[in-house]
Every structure is written in structure tokens, then in C-alpha cells.
A = this chain, B = another copy of it.
């Protein structure tokens, strides 16, 4: 084990290495406390501390009464970029969107180039769920993030799905709500991205994503004026 770290941190690192080494997947169960403490050669209170650390790092989750499991969040915390600490929420939303403009059109185009029928089916359900919320005027941030994260995943780039979860969060940070017209435009452009990906039309997917993001930017500008 490395030196210069607290024992609990070193034990936590060992557990991470063992999750990776044994190729455990999200939802897989870790050995029970007794076995794990024995394998790692540490006391159960140290082990418990280490597990707590991994829970707050979103590496594992504890399900009361059934044990410790590899988290579906794969080590991505709820706020990985520390956006919570940036106080000007309109600026954060604007700057996140600037990043999305740089990244997402290309991801949509990659998704169009290699989307499988199963992935398309998945995207279709996510787009439907998001559209339903948007047109009903309900909070759609969760569904929208899921849809855009799925597009990112479909791009084949292994790094971006975790990033997409961060990038697509902004609408919920703002106090105002988009107008009915803005919501309809957001839903329509989201659907256009899906259609282009389904047609394996890379350029159309690129353009549809640009249109969607331009609509997001317009909507944020209107909300921040409210």
C-alpha cells in the first residue's frame, strides 16, 4: 500500500483495485464485511470507515439488509466539477452550454455513424419520456440528461458519458421555467436529433444538435430575464 495516506484511504484504494481487478460491474455485490476484513487484513471498524469513504465517492452503495454493491455511478459523484461552489447560476448555465456547443454536435454525429438498432430503440424511449415531460410543462431535467447521456454513450467515446451527466444539468439550476413555445422547440429539436441518428445521417445529427443547443441558449436567456 502507498504510504502518506490514512489507513482508511489506503484500504479504500485497495477495495477499488479489487473491484477493477475482479471486473465487478455496477450492481455486483462485494464480499461481506467479515470476508473483506479478513482478505484485506484490517479490523472491521477500519473496513467500515473505508466503505463509507467509497460511498461518498459514489463507488459503492449500501443497501440496508442486503450488503454493499458496486454503484451504478461508477465513481462519478453528484457534482464532480464542484459547480455547487460557483454562485452565479446564470453564468454557470451559460458556460456549461458553451461547452455543450463544443462537444455535443460532434457526439451526435458519432452516434449517427455507429448507432445499433438496440441503441436506437433505447434513445427512442428516452426521447419519448423527455418529450412527454417537456410538453406537459413538468421538470424534464432528469429525462433530458438521460437522453443526452445516452447519445454521448452511443458515440463510442468512453469518457463522455460521465461528462454528459454534468453538462446537461443546467436547466434545473435556473429559477424560471421555459415558456410553452420554448418547451415545444426543445422537444421538436430533441426529436430531430433522434431522427437523424436513426437515419445514420451524421451531418443532420450534428446540425440538429446545434439547433437544440441554440434553443437551450435562447431559453436560458429568457429565463434569466424573468
Query: Which A residues contact B (CB, under 8 angstroms)?
Result: 16, 19-20, 23, 49, 52-53, 56-59, 73-77, 79-88, 91-92, 95-96, 98-99, 102-103, 106, 157-160, 162-163
User: With A20-B85, A102-B102, A103-B99 as given contacts, are A77 and B77 in contact (CB-CB < 8 Å)?
Assistant: yes
Q: With a CB–CB cut-off of 8 A, which chain B residues contact A77?
A: 57, 77, 80
Partner of A20, one of B16, B84, B91: B84
Using CB atoms, name the residue of chain B closest to A78: B57
Contacts A76-B81, A85-B75, A99-B103; A159 near B57 (Cβ below 8 A): no
Number of copies: 2
What separation, in Å, do the CA atoms of A96 and B120 have in the docked complex?
25
- Judging by beta carbons under 8 Å apart, are B162 and A81 in contact? yes
Instruction: Specify the chain B residue showing the minimal Cβ separation from A12.
Output: B56
Which of B82, B95, B162 is within 8 Å of A157, CB to CB? B95
Contacts of A19 in B (CB 8 A): 85
Chain B, Cβ-Cβ closest to A170 = B159
What are 10 A-B residue pairs whose CB atoms fall within 8 Å in the complex? A23-B87, A53-B56, A57-B77, A73-B82, A75-B79, A75-B82, A75-B84, A81-B162, A83-B159, A98-B157
CB-based contact A81/B20 at 8 Å: no
Known: A57-B77, A99-B157. A82 touches B162 (CB 8 A): yes
CA distance A117 to B21 in the complex (A): 49
In the docked arrangement, what's the CA distance between A145 and B209, Å? 30
CB neighbours of A82 from chain B (8 A): 58-59, 73-76, 162
Closest partner residue, chain B, to A104 (CB atom): B102
